[in-house]
Amino acid sequence: MAKRTKIELTQEEHMELQTIVRSTKIEARIAERAHIILCWHAGDSFVETRKKLGVSEVIINKWRKRFYEHRIDGLKDAPRSGKPAVYSAAQKARVIKLATEKPGQGYTHLSQRRIAEKAGMSQSKVQNLLKQADLKPHKVEYWCGKSTDPEFESKMLNIIGLYMNPPENALVLSVDEKTQIQALDRTQPLLPLKIGTPKRLTATYKRNGTVALLAALAVHKGEVTAKTIDKNNSHNFLIFLKDLYRKYPGKHLHIIADNLSLHKHQSIVDWVASKKRVTLHFTPTYSSWLNQIEIWFNIMTKDVLKGGVWKSRKQLIDQLMLYVKNYNEKRAKPFKWTYTGQPLTI
């Protein structure tokens, strides 16, 4: 490597090195290497760098050379040599058996440490064997089983038909509630996002009440109608349906809702029966995912609720309604249907 008193950095390299140094998540040895290069860029000599960072000139020279030859990638650990670990078939079978069987003794699952104790080997060996077998005993995924509704197919086809080919002069509305939205305040002020550090919230919080949000998605327009309610019951649901009826005069409303008992209350059945231009459609059992408003609720949760801080219930309500207003003005459009009807392979 040529002798240099200063290394030239691109703007991107300089920013990345500064980010590494400031990050609280990066390992100390990586941050130290980045600091050595920044000192070099600033024109510091070996002696000055050694005094600043408390590292030897051998270390300084090593990482200067690695950076000179490989740039940012040179600061990473080089791959280690040596033969891969070899495990017997019996060891593999023992670990796989322990990881996949019911643990007993009051446990609902076995950690790698407990598997290692039972198998009589180190935790690192267990970790390697589980990785080879693609087993992750520490993870749990949830899945939705097949609907038990005997009318699943007819209900499903009816709803998809409304999405794909709505009747003339009709408006398809996907309706549901998002309940128990908590107005959480934090015991300390929010720490804003910085380079190398995410936005931070205290783990301790104060509850300022809950809000339920009733929302209707006009499927073929993308427009959302929403209102907050104090209590999720059939009375408030009926009021919301009446609001929708008045908002869209002259249109036959096809309203899609899940089959909660409050959506089938006698007062709602009677009101729908009295209106010529309202038809209520229910998703099959365990199939609320067919309701497109769930997509919008997911978007709203990421945009508004995740990491939110509210001093009062009213502040939360005001933010929700402002979000709906801005969504309708700037982002509202129909969700694009992408499934082509081809059978999925297993």
Q: What is the tens place of the pLDDT at every residue in 143-189?
A: 666 778 888 989 999 999 999 999 999 999 999 999 999 998 888 87
pLDDT higher than threshold 60 for residue 229:
yes
pLDDT higher than threshold 70 for residue 202:
yes
SS3 182: strand
Q: Which residue type sits at 307?
A: G
For residues 68-83, average pLDDT: 78
Which two tokens mark 249? Answer: 């005069």
pLDDT higher than threshold 50 for residue 2:
no
The whole-number pLDDT of residue 263 equals 95
pLDDT higher than threshold 90 for residue 282:
yes
For residues 238-266, average pLDDT: 96
> Residue 128 phi/psi, 5° resolution?
-65, -40
Question: What is the average pLDDT value for the chain, to the nearest integer?
Answer: 88
Tell me the β-bridge partners of 224.
Answer: 217
Question: Torsion over CA of 288, 291, 292 and 297, rounded to 10 degrees?
Answer: -40
CA separation for the pair 60, 72 (Å, rounded): 15
pLDDT higher than threshold 90 for residue 248:
yes
**Which pLDDT band holds residue 346 (cuts at 50, 70, 90)?**
very low
Give the closest residue to 211 by CA, choosing from 114, 304, 103, 87.
304
Q: Specify whether the CB–CB gap between 289 and 298 falls below 8 A.
A: no
Q: Specify whether the CB–CB gap between 256 and 173 falls below 8 A.
A: yes
pTM: 0.62
Quick one: how many helices (H) and strands (E) in the chain? 12, 5
Topology of 152-330 in CATH? Answer: Nucleotidyltransferase; domain 5 (3.30.420)
